[in-house]
Structure 1
Amino acid sequence: MAPGNINDIVAFVAAAEAGSFVGAARVRSMTRSGIAKSVARLEDRLGVRLFHRTTRSLGLTDDGRIFLERCTQILTDLEEAELSMSDGGGEPQGLFRLTAPMTFGRVMVLPLLNDFLASWPKLKADVSFTDRVSDIVEDGIDLAIRIGETRENSSLITRTLTQQHDLVVASPAYLLVNPAPSHPDDLLGHACLNYVSAGQKRAWRFKLENKTILVNPRARLSLDSGEALRDAAIAGAGLAFLPSYVVNQDLADGRLNRLLIDYAAPPVPISLIYPSRRHLSPKVRRFIDLLVRNIAHRSSHCDLIADII
């Protein structure tokens, strides 16, 4: 690609991100007319209009949005290729953007991330632990972790990391005054603690042989935090349906008891999602390796069954 083409692409991306030619000129230390000419040359070569222009606003066209996505990826790839050939020799550096579900992120990912940052001092991280599903491309996410079935853009890579196993648990104090359920239907007579995400209560699913049993227990308490549900269960507030990685240590220490063992919940996939690129950047590649190595190792202790592709 000719240098002029790259410069025009850089000007286009800067204008799109700044929302104006003036803002792009300030960021790129260029003149407003220089940015405008670069964008015009790019539009002439492509034969499409990239921006809707008025005297007061600058907005991307549909073609412009599609082209911006590709250009942003190209510039990122160029930057990372340059870094990989520098004295760092593939050392993770720059900004690493990561998103993961709240509870899994806090319990399983954060300890690894702390070690990762300590190992690579040139790396910074921008992390979101949330159950909200973000647009990876639009939000500039390097790596996303998803729990459950995914429906991602075909341009993204989806890689199964492991599986989540949910367990019904209750404290010994609760079970002293309430008989343990022997069937999922018995949950309707218990004080249950429900997990709520985006205003939706989570159903409790069980499997016996080839039959799936779906229960929507009457919630005495609903919370949007798995760790808060765990604390409530330990305090004797009711039965909780939680991932094994949240309650495993509590089960081992006797703070919680596992119930309905014969009715195992169907495993839920935990996946890694990242932009499709020929060469992963060192920061993404090394963090994926760290997740695979440690999550697979911990699976033998937490009832997480690794399913590495």
Structure 2
Amino acid sequence: MVKNQFVEIRNFVTVAQTGSFTSAAQALGMTGSALSKSIMRLETRLGTKLLHRTTRRVSLTNDGDSYLTDCQNAMAILDEAENRLGSEQQLPAGRVRIELPTAFGRRYILPTLIELSTRYEQLELSVTFSDQTVDLMGNGIDLAVRVGPLDNNVDLVARRLGEQRRVICGSPSYLARRGAPLVAKDLSQHDCVIGWPLGQRTSWLLKNGEGMTEAYEIPVRHEIGDCEAILAATLAGCGLAQVPTWLVEEHLRSGALVSVLADQAGDDMPIHAIWIKTPYIQPKMRVIIEELLLLAQTPGSRFRADQHKKCSR
């Protein structure tokens, strides 16, 4: 009913503007008889006569003239709405809720997002930071960057950005005091600093003599739920920590931290961008995803584990 209503209105406006059923029918691609019946249905539904018809001309009644003005105003509003929406669909516009890993997100992703928002003035960002795995849909998150293995969720799309390598390290003062572990089992004699509650692990992943990754139980002295704070504690000589190479690379180069058990480093941790699966990716989402992929492919990118191999030795 609603669809037919709009068709009849379009037909009426075309007849009124052309002043001829014949010309209007040609413009609309329909027969004169079908057009006449459409106008008659509209008049019947409205309960008033809209057009005076003669063999030579078509003119508007008073009600028809008033109705035409209202129809043209309504159509102008619809055209404006379609044009505006079409423009917004082509350009990144609107708000995107993004969740990033805490330290990695602040250091290496947020600056890119901020720069992107300066290029697209209608793009709005809501950025939060967390190392916890949360439900995207339940928390209203449009896109997230995750470090580590992903669950098999058919409702999500994931694009791999790169890998994160981890290294066990300590300060020279701590190693001078306690000695450097030479094999994985030596860790049982050391103070260890872990993230909490970032997975609540009391073991570290290391490769055994066969090259297989195994979990080694460690004695936990400090539990700290922030990467930057773990770094500060390690620099202060509080113990050993297993941390991402991007977090400590400058301190490894300067000698403020020393890598241990480097030849037994665990497997790389994957980094993904994930979002809720939809039939169509809006431009505001597409431009962010493409920017993250471009950032990950940039030479020297912190998304690439091979950039940090020399730092973990």
Would the TM-score normalized by the shorter structure come out above 0.5? Answer: yes
- Cα offset for 1:135? 1.7
Identify which range, 249-258 or 193-202, moves more after superposition: 193-202
SS in 2 for 1:200: coil
- 1:256 and 2:239 equivalent? no
The answer to whether 1:266 aligns with 2:267 is: yes
* Percentage identity across paired residues of the two chains: 31
> In the aligned structure 1, how far is the partner of 2:234 from the partner of 2:184?
18
Write the deviation string for residues 112-143 of structure 1: whole angstroms up to 9, x where unpaired. 22222222222221112112222212323211
Q: Are the counterparts in 2 of residues 191 and 238 from structure 1 also a CA contact under 8 Å? A: yes
Give the whole-Å Cα distance in 2 for the aligned partners of 1:189 and 1:154: 44
Q: Distance in 2 between matches of 1:3 and 1:237?
A: 72
Q: Bigger radius of gyration, 1 or 2? A: 2
Q: Aligned-pair distance for 1:162?
A: 1.1
Report the Cα offset of residue 158 of structure 1: 1.7
Per-residue deviation, 1:300: 5.6
Contact 1:245/1:303 (CA < 8 Å) preserved in 2? no
Equivalences, count = 228
2:291 counterpart residue number: 290
- Aligned-partner Cα distance in 2 for 1:82–1:149: 43
Q: Residues 170 and 238 of structure 1 are in contact (CA less than 8 Å); yes or no, is this contact kept in structure 2?
A: yes
TM-score (norm 2): 0.65
Q: Is the 8 A contact 1:298 1:304 kept in 2?
A: no
Q: Which residue of 2 aligns with 1:229?
A: 230
| Matching residue of 1:92 | 92
Q: 1:152-163, aligned counterparts within 5 Å?
A: 152-163=152-163
Secondary structure of 2:305's counterpart equals: coil
* CA distance 1:236–1:270, shift in 2 (3 Å): same
Deviation, 1:232, is 0.9
Q: Greater shift after overlay, 285-294 or 182-191?
A: 285-294
What residue in structure 2 maps to residue 13 of structure 1? none
Tell me the amino acid that sits aligned with residue 252 of structure 1: R
Q: Which digits, 9 at most, give the CA deviation of each residue in 1:185-225, with x for residues without a partner?
A: 11111111111126723521011443223122111111011
Query: Amino acid of the residue matched to residue 289 of structure 2?
Result: I
**Map of 1:176 onto structure 2:** 176
Segments of structure 1 that go 5 or more residues without pairing to the other structure are: 5-80
- Report if aligned partners of 1:132, 1:198 keep a CA contact under 8 Å in 2: yes
In the alignment, structure 2 segments of 5+ residues that lack a partner are 5-81, 308-313
Task: Supply the RMSD in Å over aligned alpha carbons.
Answer: 2.7
Aligned letter for 1:143? L
CA distance in structure 2 between the partners assigned to 1:84 and 1:248 by the alignment: 47
1:126–1:249 CA distance, 2 compared to 1 (3 A): same
Deviation, structure 1 residue 90: 2.9
